[in-house]
Chain A
Amino acid sequence: MVERSDSPHPASTGAEIGRAAEVASDLEGPRVVSRRWMLLKAGIALNGLIGIGLAIPIIRYLFSPIRPDSAYNSWVSLGTADSFPMGETRLISFTNPWRRPWDGQTVDIPCYVRRTGKRQFQVFAINCAHLGCPVRWFPQSQLFMCPCHGGVYYADGSRASGPPTRGLFTYPNKVVAGNLQIYAGQMPTLSNVPKPPESAKLVNIAAPTPEGDCPCRG
Chain B
Amino acid sequence: MPRMKRDAKTVYNWLERRLQIEGPVKDAALHKVPRSTASWWYVFGSAAFTLLLLQVVTGILLALVYSPTAANAWNSLNVLNHQIPLGWFIRALHGWGSNFMVAIVFIHMCQVFLFGAYKFPRELTWIVGVFLLLMTLGMAFTGQVLRFDQDAYWGLGIGVFMMSRVPLIGGALVHFLLGGPNISGATLSRFFTLHVFVIPGLLLSFAMVHVWMVLKLGINEWPMPGRLVRRETYIAIYNRLSHEDGIPFVPGAFWKDLIFSGAIVAAVAVCAMVFGPYGPGGMPNPSIIQTTPKPDFPFLWIFAILAYLPPALETPVILVAPILAIAGLLALPFVAGEGEKSWHRRPIAVLTVSFIAVAWGVFTHLGTYTPWSPHMNAWSSDAIPARYTHSATPLVREGAVVFQAKQCRNCHEIEGVGGQRGPALDDVATRMTPDEMRYKVVTGGGNMPAFGKNLSPAEVEALVAFLETLHPANERPAYDGALRETSTHNGSPPPVTGSK
Contacts and interface: CB of A to CB of B under 8 A. Distances in A.
B376 A147 contact: yes
Contacts, number: 239
Contact of B171 (A3, A127, A191): A191
Interface stretch (B104-112, B342-350, B405-413, B481-489): B405-413
A186 B216 contact: no
B165 interface: yes
Contacts of B74: 104
Interface in B157-205: 157-158, 160-166, 170-176, 178-186
A131 B161 contact: yes
* Max count, chain A CB within 10 A of own CB: residue among B70, B235, B248, B312: B70
B291 A134 contact: yes
Contacts of A72: 180-181
Interface stretch (A44-52, A63-71, A170-178, A201-209): A63-71
Chain B interface category by residue count? 35 or more
B221 to A, nearest CB: 11
A187 B293 contact: no
Contacts of B453: 142, 154-155
Interface in A93-135: 93, 96, 98-110, 126-127, 130-135
B184 A103 contact: yes
Nearest to B156: A132
A142 B454 contact: yes
A83 interface: no
Nearest to A8: B218
A126 to B, nearest CB: 6
A163 B238 contact: no
Contacts of B184: 96, 99-100, 103, 106-107
A33 interface: no
Interface string B436-447: 000000001011
A34 interface: no
A42 to B, nearest CB: 30
B157 A106 contact: no
A135 B291 CA distance: 10
A189 B287 contact: no
B27 interface: yes
Q: Which 7 A-B pairs have the closest CB atoms?
A: A186-B181, A104-B71, A191-B170, A189-B164, A132-B157, A160-B449, A72-B181
14 contacts: A5-B243, A96-B182, A102-B71, A104-B71, A104-B72, A107-B182, A108-B285, A127-B157, A138-B379, A140-B379, A150-B307, A152-B374, A165-B312, A192-B174
Interface of B: 24, 26-27, 30-32, 69-72, 74, 153-154, 157-158, 160-166, 170-176, 178-186, 215-218, 235, 238-239, 242-243, 248, 283-287, 289-293, 303, 306-307, 309, 311-312, 314, 372-374, 376, 379, 405-408, 410-411, 421, 444, 446-451, 453-454
